[in-house]
Chain A
Amino acid sequence: MSDHAVLEVERLSVSIAGRNVLDDVSFEIRQGEFTGLIGSNGVGKTTLLRSVLGLQRIDAGEIRVSGESLGRRGRSLGYVPQKVVLDPDVPMRARDLVALGLDGDRYGFARRTKEQWALVEQMLENVDASRFADSRVGALSGGEQQRVLIAHALISRPELLLLDEPLANLDPASVQEIVALLHRVAHEYQVAVLLSAHEMNALLPVMDRIVYLTNGRAASGTTEEVVRTEVLSKLYGHHVDVLNVHGRVFVIAEPGQDNQDIPEHPNLTVS
Chain B
Amino acid sequence: MVNAWLIGTIVAVVAGVVGFFVVLRGAAFAAHAIPNGAFAGAAGANLIGLNPLLGLGVFSLGSALGIGTLGRKGRSDAVTALALVTMLALGAAFLSQSTEYEPQIFSLLFGEILGVSSSQIVPVAVLASVCILAIVLLYRPLLLTSLAPEIAAARGIRPHVVDTLFLVVLACSTTMTVPVVGAFLIFTLMIGPPAAARCFSDRPGTALGGSVVIALLTLWAAIACSFQTNWPVGFYVGVFSGAWYGVARAYRAGRRARQVNATLHENRRLSALAAL
Contact = CB atoms under 8 A, between A and B. Distances in A.
- A–B contact with Cβ pairs below 8 Å: the answer is yes
A81 B140 contact: no
Contacts of B24: 90
B203 A104 contact: no
Given A79-B150, A81-B151, A107 B137 contact: yes
A238 interface: no
Interface string B138-150: 1111011001101
Nearest to B20: A91
Contacts of A89: 198-199
Nearest to A110: B140
Contact of B141 (A79, A107, A135): A107
Interface in B201-235: 201-207
A55 B150 CA distance: 9
A152 interface: yes
B136 A91 contact: no
B198 A104 contact: no
A103 to B, nearest CB: 7
B123 interface: no
B138 A134 contact: no
B156 interface: yes
B192 to A, nearest CB: 14
A77 B74 CA distance: 29
A91 B139 contact: no
Q: Among A54, A89, A93, A103, which residue has the most Cβ atoms of chain B within 10 A?
A: A89
B144 A104 contact: yes
B266 to A, nearest CB: 11
Contacts of A104: 140-141, 143-144, 152, 155, 157
Contacts of A147: none
Interface residues of B, number: 29
B274 interface: no
Contact of B137 (A79, A108, A134): A108
A137 B151 CA distance: 15
Given A86-B147, A105-B157, A108-B140, A91 B202 contact: yes
Nearest to A103: B140
B147 A109 contact: no
Number of contact residues on A: which range applies?
35 or more
A81 B143 contact: no
Nearest to B139: A109
A207 B189 CA distance: 54
A91 B201 contact: yes
Given A106-B140, A107-B140, A92 B204 contact: yes
A54 B156 CA distance: 9
A136 interface: yes
A53 interface: yes
Interface in A99-134: 100, 103-110, 134
Contacts of B151: 79, 81, 84, 149, 152-153
Contact of B204 (A96, A103, A106, A135): A96
A105 B148 CA distance: 13
Contacts of B141: 104-105, 107
A74 interface: yes
A55 B153 contact: yes
Nearest to B137: A107
Interface string B177-196: 00000000000000000000
Contacts of A109: 136, 139-140, 205
B48 interface: no
B154 interface: yes
Interface string A69-86: 000011001110100101
Given A90-B147, A105-B140, A162-B154, 11 more contacts: A84-B150, A84-B151, A89-B198, A90-B198, A91-B203, A93-B202, A100-B140, A105-B152, A105-B157, A110-B140, A152-B151
17 contacts: A74-B155, A74-B156, A78-B154, A91-B203, A91-B206, A96-B203, A97-B147, A104-B140, A104-B155, A105-B140, A105-B152, A105-B155, A105-B156, A107-B138, A110-B205, A149-B151, A152-B151
